[in-house]
Amino acid sequence: FEEGAFTGKHVVITAGPTQEAIDPVRYISNHSSGKMGYALAQAAADQGAQVTLISGPTNLPCPDRVERIQVKSAEQMLEASLQRISETDVFIASAAVADYRPSEIAEHKIKKVDGEDQMIIKLVKNPDIVATVAQHPERPFTVGFAAETQDVAQYAQAKLARKNLDMIVANDVSNTKIGFNSDNNAATVFWGSGQRELELMSKAQMASEILNCIKTQLKD
Ligand code: C5P
């Protein structure tokens, strides 16, 4: 085990999409690949951290020296996050959590109804995982992500304040060369008193740059 900048630190990372069940065979989800969160987990482990990766369903292999907890729904992801909060030094929320879930999960497969051309699924809001962690009395250093399509800086800084975060990584998802399924990313990192531009680079490089920003803020 190598000495690194994060030796002795427990870093917890959420990654991937969540799946919100409709019935035993169907769900609501999104196209998040989980690549950014897995790259962060790998980079944090490489820098000596004890890493817990709380992951929604993805096809990615678990990075070396990382403990992975696989979950499906936002509620499961929140529970896994809160379970470890008192021993967490840094919490990084990179998961694309579904904003809403079906208000109830049907016990049996929902049948289509002859003559009904529409069906309505009632949704309820999911808990905000990163905001819940950031409000906790034992809150760790808390980092969020913001995917925006316009006015990136203003929306990201508003989100930083509203969710009580220490740091936010904002990317412009109107740029199709980066983000969601891509291996590359570009972003701006904001914290209370400053910001840093991360030009287009691989998600592995971006992960280590984000960790550098965190390391600097942890020291202050
Ligand atoms: O509000 P918005 O979804 O844009 O915020 C994105 C940030 O909040 C990401 O860090 C994401 O992981 C986190 N988030 C969360 N729980 C939610 C929604 C978003 O942790 N229910």
> Which CATH number is 102's domain given?
3.40.50.10300
**Is 177 contained in some domain?**
yes
> Which of 124, 128, 135, 162 to probe ligand 1 with, by most ligand atoms within 8 A of CB?
128
**Is 3 contained in some domain?**
no
Q: Which active-site residues does the annotation give?
A: 30
ipTM of the complex: 0.98
Is the confidence at residue 112, as pLDDT, over 80?
Answer: yes
**Is 151 contained in some domain?**
yes
Longest dimension (CA), the chain: 66
Sequence-distant (6+) residues with CB within 8 A of 211 are: 5, 6, 40, 43, 44, 47
127 is in an annotated binding site: yes
CA 139 to chain CA centroid, Å, is 16
**Is 79 contained in some domain?**
yes
Ligand 1 atom nearest to 95, measured from its CA = 12
Q: What was the pLDDT predicted at 24?
A: 98
Helix/strand/coil for 54? strand
Q: Is 93 in the pocket of ligand 1 (CB under 6 A)?
A: yes
Quote the pTM value: 0.96
**Is 190 contained in some domain?**
yes
Give the residue numbers spanning the domain of 44: 10-110+117-219
For the chain, what is the domain count? 1
**Is 179 contained in some domain?**
yes
| pLDDT tens per residue, range 2-23 | 578 999 999 999 999 999 999 9
Q: What is the DSSP string of 188-218?
A: EEEETTEEEEEEEEEHHHHHHHHHHHHHHHH
